[in-house]
Chain A
């Protein structure tokens, strides 16, 4: 079911992309690499959904970094409630326009009278992230972060940019991208995005990494940490994620925790639960979650028992009989 990778083939390009992202510090799985490559090949925006802390934003930054030899820039638009066009796309530089008109009025006798078309030109336009992205002359990654935090009306405005990579300024006309940027949109799913927006994008749902992948990520970020520490800590976090937590720890939290344990000179998970409790703030970010994780519960998780199940009870009884 496989054929040798040839230069210019999607499989080769995909592998190269994976390697570039890895060099930029982002370990990407095969499916996501395919999707990122496809988004680039089809020149379509990529919408990535997933829980907070699974590496959605990091992908965009790593992507920009991986193209840094070609001078790629990362343009980031952080969305929030009330974000409007003036903050996201462009705004007229009224101050500069007024200055130009006043100077013209005060007029040196030889100076030509300023015309309306003069002050409504590209020169007087303040570029905000979207316009800046489509104005780039080289490779560019446009990150529209947490689109679910923006208002629905803003989504409608984005459609033109995402579909045609252009922005229409009524006074000037349509400004088209000279170099199509690679657009990554991220969403935590706190509200439903419109179908129109979704249909303009390729979609990828980024889940928490598997055990092996998370170990690889932590090892790659913290190569100096002991392997046993990394493996034990990641296993613990993976078990912790199955608990009923208000805020499930993401990869960034795992990295913070392993970093903390490493700086405390641990080479494996400490036997003493108070030492684990002391660093648990790196993983658990709400009072309820901290309250739920007592020393006993932690010990169970460290030892790999989520709860004392029937099988374990049965095993215990069998041992006792034996």
Chain B
């Protein structure tokens, strides 16, 4: 391992655990104890085995599993990091928000060469999202055709008025609850036992009667088993969407809490942020805002959607899954590729709704060619838009 000042192993491990927690891994006292036990058993000389053991202890999901090598190297072998950055002294990442978000940036921004591709920077007129996202009543009927694309608004983190009032957050959560309740569950052919139902479950009733010596004391009923739809939200956080990303992630977070939606963000690559969305702390709120800040370099919607369909959600997509894409539709990939990606997603049974920040459906060529695969377009630039969408989202 790298040359670092001698500190107690448990202290170094605590530092590593803190870094893991900053990356969303649930590493508590029990995990740290188990990691320490593993370190004692393997010793420092069997690093590969020790790393495998720690990975098994600290990771609890595929997302964390994929994240592990990067975080491990960052802490224990900072000299191997890209650019050969030497870190001396304590290698534990500080609690600096910028650094904790940097990992996500790094993962997402590897193929940055697309910035110069055609379509990366589409000039636009007013977008619907130029209106303050928190002022539902200020929605004016813009006469000019909104084109979407790169926004003329300044960077989100430099703007005032991005703070959400508690009542607005509460209104958003309430809207998310109402919309979730309206999402039609998928009927299955199976039945489940219930206290009341249209059919008598004879087998279960007879089974229960055994406990009463054969008397039918406790009839069992059955009802049709329904599955709530699986909701996936993909939010575009590229530079052109910067002014809308805060609203998009707020909305996504509301649905992550209400409908257990899986939330992904993308610009040139796709990354899942569901764990960030499900925790309600000021730090997480700050991270959610930070996630939206500073991304640049084009939008590869088609590539991100393909990655989503083929890898991230492959086994979870089924008939009736809802995929909501929050984007202006301006793609640096070839226009036909988006149509193919959406068609492949549709072929898995997903129902695709496209939320756009513009008043009208974006005129992006890629999106126009893919319209056949999209079930519905919904404008989303304010809470009022979301409230209006209640009527159409099912």
Q: Which residues of A line the B interface, CB within 8 A? A: 1-3, 10-11, 14, 30-32, 34-35, 38-39, 41-42, 44, 46, 49, 51, 81-82, 92, 94-95, 98, 188-192, 195, 198-199, 201-205, 244, 246, 288
Contact = CB atoms under 8 A, between A and B. Distances in A.
A201 B48 CA distance: 21
A192 B62 contact: no
Contacts of A41: 41
A81 B189 CA distance: 12
A94 B52 contact: no
Contacts of B260: 192
B45 interface: yes
A205 B62 contact: yes
Given A1-B45, A1-B47, A195-B26, A35 B315 contact: no
B45 A98 contact: no
B59 A203 contact: yes
Contacts of B37: 42
B46 A10 contact: yes
B266 to A, nearest CB: 19
Nearest to B53: A38
A2 B315 contact: no
A205 B65 contact: yes
B225 interface: yes
B315 A190 contact: yes
A39 to B, nearest CB: 8
Given A82-B190, A98-B210, A199-B26, 6 more contacts: A35-B53, A38-B57, A39-B56, A42-B37, A195-B60, A199-B60
Contacts of A49: 61-62
A41 B40 CA distance: 12
A77 B42 CA distance: 33
Contacts of A95: 210
13 contacts: A1-B47, A3-B45, A11-B46, A31-B52, A31-B55, A42-B37, A81-B225, A82-B190, A94-B211, A190-B315, A199-B26, A199-B28, A244-B344
Interface residues of B, number: 42
Contacts of B38: 38, 42
The 6 tightest CB contacts between A and B, nearest first, are A94-B210, A198-B60, A31-B52, A34-B52, A35-B56, A202-B56
Contacts of B213: 98
* Interface secondary structure of B, over-half rule: helix
Interface of B: 26, 28, 30-31, 34, 37-38, 41-43, 45-49, 52-53, 55-57, 59-62, 64-65, 190, 192, 210-211, 213-214, 225, 260, 262, 306, 310, 315-316, 344, 347-348
Contacts of B211: 92, 94
A237 B95 CA distance: 46
Contacts of A198: 60-61
A189 B62 contact: yes
A204 B60 contact: no
A92 B214 CA distance: 15
Contact of B57 (A3, A189, A190, A202): A202
Contact of A204 (B34, B56, B192): B56
A154 B82 CA distance: 45
Given A2-B45, A81-B225, A244-B310, A191 B65 contact: no
Contacts of A244: 306, 310, 344
Nearest to A102: B213
A244 B307 CA distance: 10
A92 B210 CA distance: 10
A94 B310 CA distance: 50
Nearest to A31: B52
Contacts of B28: 199
Nearest to B50: A34
B56 A189 contact: no
Nearest to A198: B60
Contacts of B31: 199
B192 A82 contact: yes
Contacts of B62: 49, 189, 205
Nearest to B310: A244
A2 B46 contact: yes
Contacts of A82: 190, 192, 225
B316 A11 contact: no
A201 B31 CA distance: 10
Contacts of A192: 260, 262
A92 B90 CA distance: 59
Contacts of B60: 195, 198-199, 201, 203
